[in-house]
Structure 1
């Protein structure tokens, strides 16, 4: 339970899309101004471009409307694996979001979109600077016990 804090009635949004390889510090992220199928396609295309040749990635994700493979052009090097409905506890990236909010992004008032973008990027980079943190946050036994590299 979080303590009560300062409330800002203004509204600026930024969405951090990320793919984390479970049980490692390997990750890829993009900060985008909106969340929809177009933004998801941008993320998937950029993620696919950074994959090593011959690598095929499986992205575990929730069933948000913008994750629906039927509405997306999914690169051939990526497979989307939807989790059962209402099961955030199975999604390793949910722990990453919680960690970022708890450690770096809560109880802050930011002036505008640029300030939000700067705060999110700084938080993400601080997380990446914590060697082993992503490893521990994403090491879900059902993903790491498979022995899949």
Structure 2
């Protein structure tokens, strides 16, 4: 990629989306011997999606909370991401993504300065963005949210906190084999 754009800054980013909803995320917790912890839950099947872009080398992230996954929403997220990071003639972004149908559709509009690189099928372990979910889920675990607005508020707060923690992001996403552009 450097040969094609010798004067441009080149960065390698990864992208994935994560479904979150009113169906709670349950995890084990410590409790005193002989006592059972109680987690109030109310199973409801309403969802929103966290779209995450991460640059493993710098630990920078861009987060978008969107109502669904589709080609239209993916196009919107790509456009917003390109604008946020300044992709264009002077900055080229190689974006590593999985092969989901809405990523490969003919209707996908790739903004100038963004280049998509697809992972091999069935290889989520190669995707650095997959490792963001344990961090983003932390304040949501074992909690009941009354509605999607309350969930979105907690999730937005968590994303802002994570954006200010590039070293934590690097530790979770910078694999030893992940190449710099």
- What stretches of structure 1 of length at least 5 have no aligned partner? none
2:149 match: 114
2:61 match: 27
Residue in structure 1 matching 2:99, options 33, 38, 63: 63
Work out the CA distance in 2 between the residues paired with 1:21 and 1:129: 14
Counting only pairs closer than 5 Å after superposition, residues 8-27 of structure 1 correspond to structure 2 as 8-27=42-61
Return the TM-score normalized by structure 1.
0.86
* RMSD of Structure 2 on Structure 1 (CA): 2.0
Deviation by residue 1:98-135 (Cα, 9 ceiling, x = unmatched): 2222x222211111111111011011122223341111
Shift in Å, 1:18: 1.6
Return the TM-score normalized by structure 2.
0.72
* Rg (Cα) greater in structure: 2
Work out the CA distance in 1 between the residues paired with 2:27 and 2:156: 23
Larger deviation, residues 47-56 vs 92-101: 47-56
Say whether the 8 Å CA contact 1:24–1:138 is kept in structure 2. Answer: no
Deviation by residue 1:68-104 (Cα, 9 ceiling, x = unmatched): 1533011121111111111111000100012222x22
Shift in Å, 1:3: 2.8
- What stretches of structure 2 of length at least 5 have no aligned partner? 1-25, 30-38
2:35 match: none
Distance 1:134 1:73, change over 3 A: same
Residue in structure 2 matching 1:87, options 108, 123, 129: 123
Q: Does 1:136 align with 2:171?
A: yes
1:3 match: 28
Comparing both structures, which one devotes a greater share of its residues to strand?
2
Comparing both structures, which one devotes a greater share of its residues to helix?
1
